[in-house]
Amino acid sequence: MFNNITIVGVGLIGGSFALAVKDKKIAKNVIGVCNSEHTKQKVLELKLVDEVLPLEQAIKKADLIYVAIPVDATITVMQQIMNLINTQQIVIDAGSTKFALCSVLNNYSNRERFVATHPMWGTEYSGPEAAVHHAFNGRACVICEKEKSNKEAVELVENIYKQLGMHLVYMDAEAHDIHAAYVSHISHITSFALANTVLEKEKEEDAIFELAGGGFESTVRLAKSNPAMWAPIFMQNKENVLDVLNEHISQLRKFKSALEKENIEYLNELMEKANKIKRIIK
């Protein structure tokens, strides 16, 4: 058990992590770092953390620091944190991109106190109110550049995630960003684009509400995600996102061509090929 865990960014991920370490009694005291007075009051009201402190005080008091903020802010904040920590503290981030952050932190003499992680869980909601119990159970957590982190620090982090019910996957930072673009980032762009398509073509909102079935709701669900979080992710992983986006556009053109040419055989072929995803995702 840790005496003090500090969570920088007590929103969906950070708040859910706070609930998890409380539920599992991993920390005696959970400290929050918030970016506004409103958020501070909300996280205390929801009892996500035991106290809220300014960044520097919260870091100095912590045994372990968990950073769960938008990726465009993460690098700057992580640099501040790395300049504050001692040789016994552990720093974890939970960001959806890894290469840019890891590249910057490689220059720090205390780099081994940082463990780069990405718990592969999230919802379309954001903020402290979105935090839920048991969020990470049964999900994957990616740990990047394990070999650059202190062995004992990695083992402690691995143990925390295992206690939360996660299974661990290991990658280098560059590979992580490529795979995240394929399985997560393109899904969000597609959902945003589909929502815009429907809103542009269907001007009667009542019709969308009345006719939207399960398929539409599940496909467009991610379009409710917070742009302030996702725009920086897309930009920070731009090359990989563009690569998979170009392929996605190519696939859409194939469906368009099959319909234009009334080629039902090709249309079936495209869908049958897509059905092979069932071998991977049950």
User: pLDDT at position 203, please?
Assistant: 67
Superfamily of domain 176-279: 6-phosphogluconate dehydrogenase C-terminal like domain (1.10.3660.10)
Which letter does DSSP use for residue 135 in this model? T
**CATH architecture of residue range(s) 2-171:** 3-Layer(aba) Sandwich (3.40)
Q: pLDDT tens for residues 257-278?
A: 999 999 999 999 999 999 998 8
User: pLDDT at position 207, please?
Assistant: 60
pTM: 0.91
For 91, phi then psi, to 5°, come to: -120, 130
The domains of the chain are located at 2-171, 176-279
pLDDT (average), residues 189-197:
93
pLDDT (average), residues 222-226:
93
The DSSP H or E segment spanning 144 is strand 140-144
Long-range contacts of 235-242 (CB under 8 A, 24+ apart): 235/72, 236/71, 236/72, 236/97, 236/100, 237/96, 237/97, 237/99, 237/177, 237/180, 237/181, 237/185, 240/177, 240/178, 240/180, 240/181, 240/182, 240/185, 241/181, 241/185, 241/186, 241/189
Which letter does DSSP use for residue 222 in this model? G
User: pLDDT at position 218, please?
Assistant: 78
Give me the residues paired with residue 169 across strands: 142
